[in-house]
Structure 1
Amino acid sequence: MTISLSDLRDSEQNNQTLSKSLILLMSFACGLAVANLYYNQPLLADMGRTFHATSHQVGNISMFTQIGYAIGMFLFVPLGDMKERRQLISILLIAVTISLIGVATSQNLIWIYISSLAVGITTVVPQVIIPLAAQMAAPFERGKVIGSVMSGLFFGILLARTVSGFIGGTLGWRVMYWIAAAMMLGLAVILRSFLPKSYPETALSYRKLLKSMGELIVTQRTLREASLIGAMMFGGFSVFWTSLAFFLEGAPYHYGSQVAGLFGLVGVVGAAGAPIVGRWADRLSAKSMVGILITISVLSYMFFGLFGTSLWGLVIGVILLDLGVQGTQVSNQTRIYSLIPEARSRLNTVYMVSYFLGGSIGSSLGSYAWYVWKWQGVYMTGGLMIVMGLLVWGVHRIKK
């Protein structure tokens, strides 16, 4: 493994402050913040009844949230390379608190679309924290640290569905968003108190910083490959989760939002593998790991297609899907963070904007596929997106 002078500088200056408790705090903060993007998924059927909307119309709530997240990452995450990150995180958490209140008080579809877009734009704190953790970690354990912080993010993604399904099913979906707003306000106070002060890694102006991301796309082949794969993987992931609540409330299951949310607990089994994947990425070829994990995701959709009407088939499929998608993300981020250390926030921005644009497309396609073709359309659409990611990986591997 090659270690650059920049990596050694990062290690000497920052690794001494990266304690286990700080890694745990970063992991917790990422999970709690990213959950804002996923509270809506088990509640879409309930929201549809509130606004008298079709499954496709209400599925756009997830799409707008993920589009907003992509916009927010493009606008705010690059600032992590040029601004003090702790202050940036605090400002963003206050903004997302206001946005969540907007969702909780929505009176029609247009209102909740705009509020959901705002939630996505302002819920970019995890993507400011992750490059900070990568900066502070020693080069030889960067994959492990990223995997640990990302595991908190993954648990937040999955448990958000469980929590929102339970609260939404018992107290109503609006209560979930009031609770989320209160949690973000509390998190702002905690992180302001305990996160270490960071220092800018570039002297570029904001305009030049944004322009430099285009240069990174042109010059960094690994970044392009990882971004395309990430977009297809998260698109396939979103197709499933956007449609699940509609599938479960009909035949043969007839379950409510609480049960749809419980599937988030099943996915925790897959997310628990993120730190292990990170350690493997430190020791093995991260690119080979990506291929293995995409293949696991393809298998998940085979289970959805062949055995989706059986509960055990859904459970196995969810475990495989979450392990494959989340593990691919850890491996991809380990690869891109090693490219240009002083540009980690910008590299992460390019990757995650692509990732969530793919997710927004998947959310829209998933709700549309369900509306037109029901479950057969869902598993065929999601499976096709995953296979496209595998093709991108294969083509780039052949060209190398």
Structure 2
Amino acid sequence: MTATTHAMTRGMVLLFAFCCGAIVANIYYAQPIIGLIAPDIGLSDTMASFIVSLTQIGYALGLFFLVPLGDLLENRRLMIITTVVAIASLLAAAFTDQPNVFLLISLLVGFSSVSVQILIPLAAHLAPEESRGRVVGGIMGGLLLGILLARPVSSVVADHLGWRAMFMIAAALMAAISVVLALTVPKRQPDHSATYGQLIGSLWTLLRQQPVLRQRAFYQGCMFATFSLFWTAVPLELARNHGLSQSEIAIFALVGAIGAIAAPISGRLADAGHTRIASLLAMLFASLSFLPAFIHPAYSVIGLAVTGVVLDFCVQMNMVLGQRAVYSLDAKSRGRLNALYMTSIFIGGAFGSSVASAVYEHGGWLWIVIVGSVFPLLALLRFLSVSQRGSLAAA
């Protein structure tokens, strides 16, 4: 079956959403349990967050070097191959006890989990223009729910079965996903005659020629840096200063899943032409989201939960709004446009998670609040600067 526009049924949207959520969860399982993994494999506390950051760096590398192939190679086959590599990587993570090997495997887990970013442009290709925001928003809802549920699921599994069991379960789920992809996703052979080298070389041209892409990549890179900083540091804060167990941290992380409702809402807002005002509000409230934890010490855990919900909602809303804008630029280049957009996002995420442990160890939660508030503020200032110059299309 060859992919054509108007082929995105409601059932297909739900299927794509499930697959995206299950696959992207691979890069977040380690986030709440680095405190268990690190001592077991011989990593220091200050190096523990590199498990998360290297996974995200691997994902960024996959976005840059693999996702553009979605504009060149048959999409379904490409997704299945990357999913099979993910299975092998997850199994290797489950059985190794060498710190350097585990860090290398973490890089590969991220690298091989990019099939979601081939699936999403495929969905945008299948959907008609008038409903593209809704379709992408629905699928992003599944992806973002996968990101948010990965943390509590990982915490519960690690608490009851050990952290290695989580990677074994993830590998089994990827095996099932590969079968689902093979049986249900339509084939799509892009109409593109360029070589791989020309395809990669064209990324710079696209980045230079598309101001909307540059602006949106910067905004969401800053937002995702804060997202990763918060969710890497908050398990440490909850365990050390509030005495929460892994299962209790899992319940806390479930609260953040409420923010997944932002994705379909964002898609509808974008289709209705409200991208600019929604983007402004998302950046503003993301910067303010760290304040509730300081209302009263007795309610600090509740304040952290409020921060998690508001921050997740804002980050996800801004991501979908940006994705809708980027996908509207050039239909033939959607794979590469998505690669550039998402690579920038996960570079920001990798930076946020890599500094989280060091920032927390040196300054506690106060420093996390300061650093976390600065990133979305930078995005907001840039957004206002672009709007003030009258560059509405680039905003």
TM-score w.r.t. structure 1 length? 0.94
Partners of 1:386 and 1:303 in 2: how far apart? 17
Q: 2:181 matched to which residue of 1?
A: 191
Is structure 2 residue 133 aligned with structure 1 residue 129? no
Q: 2:143 matched to which residue of 1?
A: 153
What displacement does 1:269 show? 1.2
Give the conservation status (yes or no) of the 8 Å contact 1:307–1:314.
Answer: no
Structure 2 counterpart of 1:279, from 268, 280, 302: 268
Structure 2 counterpart of 1:288, from 253, 268, 277: 277
Q: 2:40 matched to which residue of 1?
A: 50
What displacement does 1:296 show? 1.8
Is structure 2 residue 300 aligned with structure 1 residue 300? no
Q: 2:237 matched to which residue of 1?
A: 247
Give the conservation status (yes or no) of the 8 Å contact 2:40–2:97.
Answer: no
Unaligned runs of 5+ in 2: none
Give the conservation status (yes or no) of the 8 Å contact 2:117–2:338.
Answer: yes
Once the two structures are superposed, residues 67-124 of structure 1 have per-residue CA deviations (whole angstroms, 9 ceiling, x without a partner) of 0000011111000011111000100000000011121112122111001000011000
Partners of 2:276 and 2:194 in 1: how far apart? 31
Give the conservation status (yes or no) of the 8 Å contact 2:6–2:128.
Answer: no
What displacement does 1:311 show? 1.9
Q: 1:269 matched to which residue of 2?
A: 258
Partners of 1:141 and 1:339 in 2: how far apart? 16
Q: 2:7 matched to which residue of 1?
A: 17
Give the stretch that moved more between structures: 118-127 or 242-251: 242-251
Partners of 1:155 and 1:234 in 2: how far apart? 15
Give the conservation status (yes or no) of the 8 Å contact 1:286–1:334.
Answer: no
Partners of 1:363 and 1:115 in 2: how far apart? 17
Give the conservation status (yes or no) of the 8 Å contact 1:72–1:121.
Answer: yes
Q: Secondary structure at the match of 1:391?
A: helix
Q: 1:109 matched to which residue of 2?
A: 99
Give the stretch that moved more between structures: 42-51 or 149-158: 42-51
Give the stretch that moved more between structures: 281-290 or 112-121: 281-290
Once the two structures are superposed, residues 44-83 of structure 1 have per-residue CA deviations (whole angstroms, 9 ceiling, x without a partner) of 1111231343332111100100000000111110000111
Partners of 1:356 and 1:158 in 2: how far apart? 16
What displacement does 1:398 show? 1.5
Give the conservation status (yes or no) of the 8 Å contact 1:62–1:360.
Answer: yes
Is structure 2 residue 382 aligned with structure 1 residue 387? no
Distance 1:314 1:307, change over 3 A: farther
Partners of 2:213 and 2:29 in 1: how far apart? 30
Q: 1:397 matched to which residue of 2?
A: 387
Structure 1 counterpart of 2:90, from 87, 100, 116: 100
What displacement does 1:299 show? 2.1
What displacement does 1:307 show? 5.5
What displacement does 1:305 show? 4.9
What displacement does 1:306 show? 4.7
Letter in 1 for 2:36: D
Q: 1:7 matched to which residue of 2?
A: none
Give the stretch that moved more between structures: 238-247 or 305-314: 305-314
Q: Secondary structure at the match of 1:367?
A: helix
Structure 2 counterpart of 1:226, from 216, 219, 229: 216
Partners of 1:307 and 1:110 in 2: how far apart? 42
Partners of 1:352 and 1:262 in 2: how far apart? 29
Give the conservation status (yes or no) of the 8 Å contact 2:359–2:368.
Answer: yes
Q: 1:344 matched to which residue of 2?
A: 334
What displacement does 1:219 show? 0.8
Structure 1 counterpart of 2:18, from 28, 37, 41: 28
Partners of 2:325 and 2:125 in 1: how far apart? 14
Give the conservation status (yes or no) of the 8 Å contact 2:263–2:320.
Answer: yes
RMSD across aligned C-alpha pairs, in angstroms?
A: 1.5
Partners of 2:372 and 2:175 in 1: how far apart? 36
Q: Secondary structure at the match of 1:107?
A: coil
Give the stretch that moved more between structures: 106-115 or 224-233: 106-115
Partners of 1:258 and 1:392 in 2: how far apart? 40
Which of structure 1's runs of 4+ aligned residues deviate more than 6 A? Answer: none
How many residue pairs are counted as aligned between the two chains? Answer: 388
Give the conservation status (yes or no) of the 8 Å contact 1:146–1:330.
Answer: yes
TM-score w.r.t. structure 2 length? 0.95
